Structure formats: C-alpha cells, structure tokens
Structure 1
Amino acid sequence: MRIRIKWTAGRRLVAQAFVVLATTVATLGPPVSVSAADAPPALPLLPNPHSFGITVTGWSDVDPTVPLDKRRLVNLKLRTEAIYPGVSRPEIQVRILLPAHYDQTAARRYPVLYLLHGGLGKWDDWSNNGVKELVTGVAAFTGLVVMPEGGSTGYYTDWTGHADGGHSPQWETFHIRQLLPWVDANFRTDATRTGRSIAGLSMGGFGALKYAGRHPDLFSAVGSFSGATNMRYADGTHDAPATFSQHMQWSGAAIREVNFLDLATRVNLYENGWPVQDEQRQEDYRFQAVFGSPTNWPHVNPYDMAARYAAYQGRIALYSGGQQGGETDIYAYNNQFRAQLTARQVAFHWCVGDGTHSWEYWQRDLTDFLNLVYGTPIACHYTS
C-alpha cells in the first residue's frame, strides 16, 4: 500500500507539471518563426581551420547584424607555437574584413591586403579607426583585408634573442609561413603574388617594407605609412637605435591585452643580477636580441634591401609627414630611403609633407595606397 501511495503521488505531480507547461505555452502563443532576412548571416565556413601550425580557438562576427551585401568584420582567435610555445600559450587575434557578397559568389577569387598595426598597437587598431569605411570608399578594391597581431613592439621579426623572461617571438614565421597560407587555405583568395599586397603604419610600415623586401615572390605592392626605413640610421639627431632601445625597455616582447604589464616581456642586459647602466651596451644588446648580429642586418633592413624593390615596378609607396608632430625622424628616414631607391633606379610613389604621426594621415595614406594599387592614382594628400 505504501508503494501505491507514492506512485499515485508521483503521477499526480507529473500531471500537474503537464498542466503548467500547457498553460505556459498557451500564454506565450505559437512559436515565432524568423525569416532568412531577419536572421544574422552565418559565419563563412573555415575548411582548414587547424593547419599551417595554427590552431583556431575562436571565430566570430564583430557585428552579427551586418548583412551579406555589406563589407563585414570577423574576428579570429588562434594559438601558435611560433609566438607562444607550450601547452598554456595564450591566444593571438586577427581581424579580417570580408568583401560584400562574399558568401554569395562561390566561384569568385579575391585579392588580399595585409594591413599591419604600429608600435604599442594591436590587432584591432585599424578596424577601430575606420578601415571598413575607408576600404568601402575605394570601389576598385573588392578584396579581403587581413589585420594580424604583431606584438606591441615585435618589429615583425623572428627574434634571435629573448626577453627577460625567456620569451622569443617569431613574428615573421607566424605571418609569412603560417597565417598567409592559412588565409589562402580558408578563404577564396587569389593565392598568387599578383593577388597580394601589404601595408602598415609606423612600426607596421617597417614591417611591410621588411616583408616585401624579403619576400618579393609573395607580394605585388607595398605601402609604408610613417614607417621606419633604416633601422641603423643615426646622425646624433635622428637616432633609430636609441628609439628602438626604449621600446624594448618598456614593452619588449609584450602583446597588449595579453601581457603588456608583465615585466618578463622587457628586454635588458644584466650583470650580477642588475641591469647594466651603460646605455650603449644596452642598445646593442636589445638590438641584437631582435635582429641578430650586425652581419644579419642587411637581410632585414629596408634601406639595405633597396634594390629588391625593383620587383614591384613602381608599386612601392612611401608616406611621411614633415618636420613636426612626431614625424621629424620619420621624414629623415624616408628621405634617406628615397635617395637610396633613386640611386638603385627603383621606381616608387612618394607622398610627403606637413602631416603628423596620427590616424588622420594614416587613414588618408590607406585611401591613396588603395587607389594607387587597385584604382586610379590620386594626388598626394599632404600640403607640400
């Protein structure tokens, strides 16, 4: 009898639950259908997400409400041994601007612009400063824009030394040997030299010139916006090694939003447990921690690689402000590089004048560069 009472009580509870559920459904009404037009567009499929040394850990829309007939920002999170070796390595991020109608034109192949951020910057700098609107404004460019993380002061280089904590990032390996073929394997790109261009601002301008000089087989156009063009340039006033040394002292191998405040990412020469006070020795140590011994510098320095830019047949563009607004050194570097290109009979696009080291000018630089490479070249936007 006791078992029967429990079973009866159980049936009563189940019946009451069904009544509550039915009442709730009746109150809510019939299911609401979402039309295809109202639903957020699906993310493009990644056919080869874990390839070329990259492991994808996140793939998302920056704004899921953007329709497929508009340019669309997406965000990639990944891990790679090239930047952080080990099991607990943190994520690296890449932002990608997709063309309009990308998912609706299955047979089409698109050109790719690799766009690099500056020193103390990060992967979303360009997208936070109007890249979508700028690229949309140049109708002749219909391709993808890939904006990768490059480290706060990673200098787009495979470090030969290490930071205080032992970290030795391999940025060139990540960008050139991993990310570039990964993009071609996962998107409908024109995976040829003709289909690729590269540009960047400040440190990213140096990186774009460096990659283009070292890999002319991979890119067909290069743009440097306020970029350093000679890492060895020093005349007592414009001292590239001293500026570089300061970067290594304060940010080194750090990545913003990952480990920027971690002192282990700084680069210093120590003796008996204390930083060496001789500034020249620190400068030399920091420089070689990133670029290696002086015998290696001609292989990574744009000024020394000037003759290689002849392969771009005039599609190398240099942008710089003048003697103000943080551009004094940049102007000197670019003016020297211009003379070197001219001496090597290398054709180039030159845009220099009264600009400052600021987004207002880098945005205009990008528009000018896209028109130069993909559309109709326009007049230089600087005032002199």
Structure 2
Amino acid sequence: MSVLVALVFAITAVFAGTAAAAPGHSTPARAVPWGGYQELWVPSSMGNIKVQVQWASRGGTAALYLLDGLRARDDRNAWSFETNAMDQFRGDNLTLVMPVGGESSFYSDWYNPSNFNNQHITYKWETFLTRELPDFLAGFGVDRSISGIMGPSMGGTAAMTLAAHHRDQFRFAGSLSGYLNTSAPGMREAIRIAMLDAGGYNSDAMWGFPWDPAWLRNDPFVSAPQMQGMSLYVASGNGLPGHFDHPSAPIDYWNTAMGMGLEFLSMVQTRAYQIRMASLGIPVTFQFNGSGIHSWPYWSAELWKARPQILNALNAW
C-alpha cells in the first residue's frame, strides 16, 4: 500500500502551476480567421474560465476537447506548450478546445469548496464542459453533438467518465496514461494524498467520503458499459525509459524515476480496463508501448497516433 500511495503521490511532480487573472466577459466573436488561434473567456458558475481555441481550418463544426493533468495551470493548458497538438491539427477541419485550470478537479462537479486550502468556489467542471462551454461555443458554430474528448493522467480518467455520462455530446473519447479503475484497492487513499500535494485539496469536498456513490460514478471501470458504440482510444507505456528520456541532472533522474512508477501503475490499470471492455464486447483501440514513462513527450506522440481515428470519428478531415 505504501508503494501505491507513494506512486500516486508523485503524480503531481509532472505538472507545475501559476495563476492568471480573468478579464471581463465579452460576447462571442471569432477574432481570427478559420484555422487561427484565439483565447476565450467563458462565463460559468465558477467565474469566467479561460479557454484556448484553435478554430477548424475550413469552418467545420466538430471539436476535440483536450483536458490537462492533475496540476493544471491557471494561465495555459499544457497541451498548448508541452506538445505540438496545435500543429498536428492545424490543417484539419476540427476545432481544438483547451480549457485552462482545474487543478486536482478530475474535471467533475464537486459537492463543496475544498476547506483545506480555503477554496472560494465549488468546482463544477462537468457542468462547464458539458453545458456552459458547448453552449458558448455554439455561438461560433461549433456543434455540441460532434465532439471528442481526450486527456493524460487525471485528464484521461475524466475524459472517459465524461464521455460515458454525456453520450449526446461525445463521439470519441481517449485516455493517455489514465487511471481507469479509481475504485481499485488503495486508489481512493492514493488520490486523496495526491490531491493534498497538488494544491492542498480535500477529496471529501470532491466526491464525499470514500463510500459515497460519487466515487463509483466517476470511475471509468464502473461506467464502462455506457461506452458501447463510441470510438475509443486508450494508451499507456510500461514505465521503462524510452527515446524521450535523457536525464542529466539529479532532478531529471528523480522525475524519470517517478514517471516510471506512475506509468507502470497506469499500465496495470489500463490492462484491467482492457479485460473489462473485452468482457463487455466493446471494441477499443488499445496502444501498449514497449517503453515510455508518465510525461508529455509521450502523450504528444500518442495524440498523433490517435489523430486518424479522431478525425474519422468526428468526420473532420
């Protein structure tokens, strides 16, 4: 148990965060040509939320939501600077939607603000991503019913959960090194410790005590039957360092070691999810790589592998 807790505690070492103030909200207006990049401030129950957007190259109506990891920053979504995601889809008829913020949120609707860190708002990320944001984007011609969602680590867990509960919105869902059985022995305690480290958040404020039904609702393993008929892409490495890993300083070796353990845990959970989906007869594209740790270069490369399936699912070539 101590090893499991230590591994998930270390999940926060991959990410870093800063804060940015939100300007006043303005009405929808596309300020750049099709295919261009724009930053939107979208009204929500949590206040105005920054969303980084790359518009479809030819005015298409499909969208891919790219979620962040556990230490999501308040100034930029990591997909926009840790990867070349925008370059990968620049010529495609697909709008990239990269919401900013949500540290330790699991992109879910919480019961209360976190009392441990004096949080002033109650996270309502599920409401934002499935109601407020798609309604706002509809003003730009983005069709809420032609959407995909994908993320790494925490974002992968959340992507699969949100897709399962909002089939009217999502046609594609993807998890990259996600934790897809959060009700497995030791995982709830490990998540609690990881959230404490990543911003001092209290998991009781998120889904209640460990026996609360919200924990099961937000477990992709439990909601797996609801994924029938959806285009799915699930990937993980095996924790062995690969061609993106070249540590030189002591901190590099530490981060590599932590990334190895985290990815091994993700691989174990992803294999369990593979068995679960096979037992349900639900087809999934699984990608188990011969090497790779828990870090952004591998997730960027995996997004490129998933790109044809994403474009096919959303008819966005």
Relative to the length of structure 1, the TM-score reads: 0.62
Q: Is the 8 A contact 1:303 1:337 kept in 2?
A: yes
Q: Which residue is equivalent to 2:301?
A: 364
Q: Is the 8 A contact 1:117 1:201 kept in 2?
A: yes
> 1:196 Cα deviation (Å)?
1.2
The amino acid that maps onto 1:368 is: K
Q: How many residues align?
A: 261
Q: Establish whether residue 318 from structure 1 lines up as the match of residue 219 from structure 2.
A: no
Alignment of 1:1-384 (within 5 A): 56-57=25-26, 68=33, 71-81=35-45, 83-84=46-47, 91-102=48-59, 109-122=60-73, 123-128=76-81, 129-136=83-90, 141-164=92-115, 165=118, 167-184=121-138, 186-192=139-145, 195-234=146-185, 239-252=186-199, 266-268=200-202, 286=203, 288-292=204-208, 293-312=211-230, 315-324=231-240, 325=260, 326-353=262-289, 354-375=291-312
1:193-248 deviations in Å (ceiling 9; x for gaps): xx2111111111111101001111211111111111111123xxxx4223311232
> Could you tell me how far apart the structure 2 residues matched to 1:135 and 1:368 are?
12
Q: RMSD of the TM alignment (CA)?
A: 2.5
Distance 1:101 1:304, change over 3 A: closer
Q: Is the 8 A contact 1:231 1:301 kept in 2?
A: yes
> Could you tell me how far apart the structure 2 residues matched to 1:368 and 1:375 are?
13
> Could you tell me how far apart the structure 2 residues matched to 1:201 and 1:210 are?
13
1:46-76 deviations in Å (ceiling 9; x for gaps): xxxxxxxxx7259899xx9xx847x321111
The amino acid that maps onto 1:188 is: G
4+ runs of 1 displaced by more than 3 Å?
A: 57-61
> Could you tell me how far apart the structure 1 residues matched to 2:275 and 2:156 are?
18
> 1:322 Cα deviation (Å)?
0.5
Distance 1:347 1:96, change over 3 A: same
Percent of residue pairs bearing the same amino acid type: 23
> Could you tell me how far apart the structure 2 residues matched to 1:226 and 1:347 are?
19
> Could you tell me how far apart the structure 1 residues matched to 2:63 and 2:151 are?
14
The amino acid that maps onto 2:108 is: T
Q: Is the 8 A contact 2:77 2:101 kept in 1?
A: no
> Could you tell me how far apart the structure 2 residues matched to 1:340 and 1:127 are?
33
1:143-192 deviations in Å (ceiling 9; x for gaps): 101111241111111111331225421111111121112111x2122443
Greater relative CO (CA pairs within 8 A, separation 6+): 2
1:259-281 deviations in Å (ceiling 9; x for gaps): xxxxxxx335xxxxxxxxxxxxx
For structure 2, the residue ranges without an aligned partner over 5 or more in a row are 1-23, 241-259
User: Secondary structure at the residue paired with 2:105?
Assistant: coil
> 1:356 Cα deviation (Å)?
1.5
Q: Is the 8 A contact 1:58 1:76 kept in 2?
A: no
> Could you tell me how far apart the structure 2 residues matched to 1:95 and 1:58 are?
16
User: Secondary structure at the residue paired with 1:80?
Assistant: coil
Q: Is the 8 A contact 2:104 2:201 kept in 1?
A: no
Q: Which residue is equivalent to 2:254?
A: none
For structure 1, the residue ranges without an aligned partner over 5 or more in a row are 1-54, 85-90, 103-108, 253-265, 269-285, 377-384
Q: Which residue is equivalent to 2:244?
A: none
Which protein shows a greater Rg? Answer: 1
Distance 1:126 1:59, change over 3 A: farther
> Could you tell me how far apart the structure 2 residues matched to 1:99 and 1:217 are?
21
